[in-house]
Amino acid sequence: MDNKNNQWRKDFPILDQVVNDEQLVYLDNAATTQKPQQIIDDIMAFYQNDNANVHRGVHTLAERSTEQFEEARSKIQQFINAKHSDEIIYTKGTTDSLNIIARSYGEQNIQAGDEIVISYLEHHSNLIPWQQLALKKHATLKYIDLDEDGFVDLNDAKKKITDKTKIVSIAHVSNVLGVINPIKQLAKLAHQHGAVMVVDGAQSVPYMPVDVQDLDCDFLAFSGHKMLGPTGLGILYGKEDLLNSMPPVDYGGEMISFVHLFDTTWNDLPWKFEAGTPNIAGAIALGHAVDYLNSIGMDKILDYENQLVDYVLPKLQAIDDLIIYGPRDPQKHTSVISFNLKGLHPHDLATGLDMEGVAVRAGHHCAQPLMEYLGIKATARASFYFYNTKEDADTLVNSIVATKEFFQNGTI
């Protein structure tokens, strides 16, 4: 698993560069992944050959772009095993998808005294929409505890989810602790109490096979840019009957059936939720990203990343003064790994790593309540994807040691 033997790496031209006189090692994939040359070419080819607005024209280019746009929707439907393609709504990203659920389903169904249940590890995108909805509706927002490894604790979930609960919304994979949460069991629990299950799939859909029918979740939100696609395009999956019962949140072109002077009827799914000209090239590119991921196989991607974690986690654990968050057991840890070096601010650590060519993230990772729960302000975070290698892992480990020595002794 060195760079030369990774068959996918050559597709990512951005990786082949020197930063700060060192070969770039990109380990910020949980923030956004890099894009293969094929997808960069596809986006350019769309604008060179097929660009036209979707759904509105009868001319050839409009038909071509509409066909590709809707074909991408079907690919995404199959990728997450949704029953119908009209259950796939194009949005701007995970954040947008979660806000739409809160503003549409939430506004319609939450009354004073109802409960919304989330957990302490949620990204702000899966926290603030529910917090603000609860404030507005005089509902109660409850937080499920984490167990000692950082997983959402099922025993506590059984206490927190009650007959008053209307919405449970949980991250499938934590963007800080690298845990895969027990979504299937949580969905079962939510349904036993008549609540809907919302899943923040921002970190899971790019990383592992995700089957919405198997999970039996009611909604799933994810972002194209974290799975090889461009920024500004995400997906909201919802069960058809729920989406049909929900009001649109944005008004304008595309989402209407008929507009009269004083009233309007809505378009069918999925367009009811897609007001205005969408990110056409982005959606088509996400369809191609799905093709690319399928050509490898999501099982294989998961397996490959598990091997990387098996390799790197013990090496990180062996570094003195390095505190690693999430499970100690590599079998329980995804390839999102957060850590702190004792006595050093994570920003200094990340800057030290950047001097070695290693790109990691540092900060609160849009999870301030989780930082508070852990009793810290911030962490550094390395996150791997299938184009990373053991060589990258070694560089990370060596660079942490070098940075530690630099700050201790002033040499690097």
∠ CA 177-180-186, rounded to 5°: 120
- Reported as half-sphere exposure (CB side, CA atoms, 13 A), residue 251 has a value of 6
Least distance (Å) between residue 223 CB and ligand PLP? 3
Catalytic residue among 359, 366, 376, 401: 366
Question: Which residue's CB is nearer to ligand PLP, number 117 or number 397?
Answer: 117
Among 203, 279, 340, 403, binds ligand PLP (CB under 6 A): 203
Least distance (Å) between residue 155 CB and ligand PLP? 23
Question: Which residue's CB is nearer to ligand PLP, number 227 or number 312?
Answer: 227
Least distance (Å) between residue 126 CB and ligand PLP? 6
Interactions with ligand PLP, residue window 10-39 (CB under 6 A): 30-31
Least distance (Å) between residue 177 CB and ligand PLP? 11
Q: Both tokens of residue 336?
A: 């999102």
By CB under 6 A, tell whether 202 contacts ligand PLP.
Answer: yes
- The CA distances from residue 261 to 84, 258, 264, 287, 305, in Å, are 33, 10, 8, 38, 56
**Distance in angstroms (rounded) separating the CA atoms of residues 36 and 211:** 25
Interactions with ligand PLP, residue window 215-234 (CB under 6 A): 223
Count of CB atoms situated within 10 Å of the CB of 247: 12
The question of whether 366 is a catalytic residue gets the answer: yes
Q: Both tokens of residue 301?
A: 């991607």
Q: Which of 102, 92, 245, 82 is nearest to 169 (CA)?
A: 102
Cis peptide before 369 (omega within 30 of 0): no
Do the beta carbons of residue 29 and residue 392 sit within 8 Å? Answer: no
Binding mask 55-94 for ligand PLP (x = CB under 6 A): --------------------------------------xx
- Per DSSP (E only), the strands in 86-205 are 88-91, 115-119, 140-144, 165-171, 196-200
Interactions with ligand PLP, residue window 114-133 (CB under 6 A): 123, 125-126
Q: Which residues have a catalytic role annotated?
A: 366
Q: Where do contacts with ligand PLP occur on this chain (CB under 6 A)?
A: 30-31, 93-95, 123, 125-126, 171, 175, 200, 202-203, 223
